[in-house]
Amino acid sequence: MSQLLLDVNGLTMRFGGLVAVNKVNLKVKNRQIVSIIGPNGAGKTTVFNCLSGFYIPSEGSVMFNGKEVAGLKDFQISRQGLVRTFQHVRLFSKMTVIENMLVAQHRHLNTNLMAGLLKTSSYRRLEQEAMDRAAHWLEEVDLLEFANREAGNLAYGQQRRLEIARCMVTQPELLLLDEPAAGLNPNETKELDELIVRLRDEHEISVLLIEHDMGLVMGISDHIYVIAQGTPLADGTAEDIKNNPDVIKAYLGEE
């Protein structure tokens, strides 16, 4: 029995006179991989920015786990379990890999000043748990051996994986990935493909994906939304989308 995790209705974002996103509807169920595709400049990242609270949508509702999150601050939304990555990797590049993982768990730690100054037992226990969780996720994305390396010194593909691990360690229910395969070689893309499927099947979370790599999108998505010029164009399974004349027109232009 799959439940509705994310339910977006009539999402609209205007910048002055420009309508960047126009009445977009999205539904993501539990344990689903859903993709948003569309030509460059279609407003996909703007949708992400609205969902994750970086922008306050002009109109529309964003229900997450049955609660309205549109209008909440970015950090509040992320604490509800809706966490995102960025088109350009945003790591804390001068901090080590393990420190990146610990910053992400900030709110799970004992941040009481006195506890930290006196190193109380609860402080040490939570710090240890966070370390264990971090190590676990580094293992998952195959980065454990680099734990004490500066994040900025990792190879690009590793940085991408670290960014996903850093999100996962916050224990989200829905992960928004903004072009995770951009800049990866075919081999790395295949690994990423497997990782995303594993997140759904083993870790039982949902993934909402923006991606240009059609191979990746068609191969793993349970449902696909197509947006062009900020407006929803079509949605359905990979098969539906591949055969939809509107989509072909939007991508290839008029014949």
- Region of 102-110, 207-215, 218-226, 244-252 interacting with another protein (CB under 8 A): 102-110
CB 52 within 8 A of CB 69: no
Q: Does 170 bind another protein (CB under 8 A)?
A: yes
Distance of CA 168 to the CA centre of its chain: 10
> Are 229 and 218 within 8 A, CB to CB?
no
Collapsed DSSP state (helix, strand, coil) of residue 244? coil
Measured CA to CA, the distance from residue 240 to residue 232 in angstroms comes to 15
In the complex, least distance from residue 18 CB atom to another protein, rounded to whole angstroms: 11
Which residue, 1 or 117, has its beta carbon nearer to another protein?
117
The verdict on 124 binding another protein (CB under 8 A) reads no
Cβ(154)–Cβ(162) below 8 Å: yes
| Helix runs in 141-244, H state only | 156-168, 186-201, 214-220, 238-243
Q: Select 117 or 252, whichever has its Cβ closest to another protein.
A: 117
Q: Is 83 in the site for another protein (CB under 8 A)?
A: yes
Containing 135, the helix (H) or strand (E) segment is: helix 121-140
CB of 163 to another protein, least distance (A): 9
Q: Judging by beta carbons within 10 Å of its beta carbon (0-12, 13-18, 19+), is residue 143 exposed, middle or buried? A: buried
Binding another protein by CB under 8 A: which of 66, 113, 252, 255?
113
93 near another protein (CB under 8 A): yes
Q: Which of residues 144-163 bind another protein (CB under 8 A)?
A: 144, 147-148
Q: Is 106 in the site for another protein (CB under 8 A)?
A: yes
| Strand residues in the chain grouped as ranges (E) | 4-15, 18-29, 33-37, 59-64, 67-68, 82-84, 174-178, 206-210, 223-228, 231-236
- The site map against another protein for 47-76 (x = CB under 8 A) is --x--x-x------------------xxx-
| Minimum distance of another protein from residue 98's CB (angstroms) | 4
| Piece of 34-42, 90-98, 196-204, 230-238 that binds another protein (CB under 8 A) | 90-98
**What is the CA 16 to chain-centroid distance, rounded?**
27
| CB of 175 or CB of 247, closer to another protein | 175
Chain residues that interact with another protein, rule: CB under 8 A: 15, 45, 49, 52, 54, 73-75, 78-79, 83-86, 90-96, 98-100, 102-104, 106-107, 109-111, 113, 116-117, 127, 131, 134-135, 144, 147-148, 166-167, 170
